[in-house]
Amino acid sequence: MKKVLYIFSLAFASCLAFSGCSNTSDEDQPAKYIFLFIGDGMGHTQVSLTESYLSYKEGKFGGERLSFTEFPILGTCETHSVDYNVTCSSAAGTAIACGNKTNNNYIGVDADGKALESVATVLKKEGYKVGIMSNVQVNHATPGAFYAHQDDRNKYYEIGMELPESGFDFFAGSGLYKPRGHKGENREPLDSYIERNGYEVCYGMEEYRGQKDSTDKMVFIQASGRKEDTDFYVSDGREEEDISLDAMVTLALDFLGEDEPFFIMCEGGEIDWAAHENKTMETVHQILDFEKAVNVAIEFYNRHPEETLILVTADHGTGGAALGQGPDWRPENFRWDLLEAQRNESQGKVSLSAEENKALNDRAQIGWTTHNHTGEPVPLYAKGKGAERFSGRMDNSDIKGKILGE
Ligand SMILES: [Zn+2]
């Protein structure tokens, strides 16, 4: 009897180990619809700042929540790169996208320079449609990590040249950075290169509407992206026709449809830019814009709750923000009133000098420790099919495997 049991359990164990033998449950399969949102520079404290501001708006010290922080699963990801405690966006983007740590400034390659395969590429091969979007340039570090392979994230032109090779279905962003190569170079404009290689490049909504039914490969660029080397905040004078990040997600859904499975990566790229400058209110408003983009996915989830996975995470923190600073801490609310008044006065356009900005943060009791990135773990919020895999501690290089159900 003992022997029979032993043989039985041996057979059972080997059956489990060999997944082709067991009935691979639907639970192990990637979700049909996958949304991955990356708030560039959106660490725990940037999220806390935003929720503190929302609470202030309600006359409270706390309790207001961003929609995605209410997701049922909360994980936390280590972010260091191979060669630094503190990562950059390309190394973190590569870890998230490709499941491998790499050196800072490397993009889509491991620390030895070997090309890696991103989760988007794997899913594309499995029949998923892929949409990659950001409110910064489509050849910037985070979007680039999903399709490019370079040992230097500053090779914007080369990253842009890799875009058509991806075969992904939809891209959107503020522009194409360094569209003729670096200073002194005068290479074929990236948009014409990309068009020659099978994509339609549309600038603004009017061109999008005119072209969307006649192509199945689209690069949507903001209308203001026609100007070369666009490099400014949405709030700093983009053209009226330019669309918000949530509208980009809506556009992706419009273009990709829902008949076939899809993977959408959406980056809130300007959270990082605002936090590099230690601009408290700009950081908060960038996160509120990012939340609106996540909300489009939540609406989609509500229509397809069994088949949709939404992940919201960050590549790293930026600026070392803190709720509270200095020796003269007072038991009253953070001075969101001062920060808000300054933003209203300037209508988000006239920027304060670095000294004026620091003085304002000091008065508001909001601390910032650096103009660079920071090395603490970042949050990961998950909701939907397979979300439970993202509970607890993980490394940012674990995300790809968890998405794929490995
Ligand atoms: Zn940064």
- pLDDT digits 0-9 by tens, 137-190: 999 999 999 999 999 999 999 999 999 999 999 999 999 988 888 877 889 999
How far does the centroid of ligand 1 lie from the alpha carbon of residue 373, in Å?
Answer: 6
- Burial level of 199, CB count in 10 A (0-12/13-18/19+)? buried
* pLDDT at res. 350: 54
CB 204 within 8 A of CB 241: yes
Q: Is the pTM of this model over 0.85?
A: yes
How far does the centroid of ligand 1 lie from the alpha carbon of residue 140, in Å?
Answer: 11
Q: Which residues of the chain have pLDDT under 70?
A: 1-25, 228-239, 327-332, 347-350
| Domains defined along the chain, listed by start | 27-326+333-404 (3.40.720.10)
How far does the centroid of ligand 1 lie from the alpha carbon of residue 276, in Å?
Answer: 6
Return all residues near 291 (Cβ < 8 A) that are at least 6 apart.
Answer: 50, 66, 67, 68
For residue 192, the one-letter residue type is S
How far does the centroid of ligand 1 lie from the alpha carbon of residue 23, in Å?
Answer: 45
* pLDDT at res. 25: 65
How far does the centroid of ligand 1 lie from the alpha carbon of residue 80, in Å?
Answer: 14
How far does the centroid of ligand 1 lie from the alpha carbon of residue 89, in Å?
Answer: 6
How far does the centroid of ligand 1 lie from the alpha carbon of residue 329, in Å?
Answer: 29
| Cα 393 from Cα 366, distance rounded (Å) | 28
How far does the centroid of ligand 1 lie from the alpha carbon of residue 281, in Å?
Answer: 17
* pLDDT at res. 347: 67
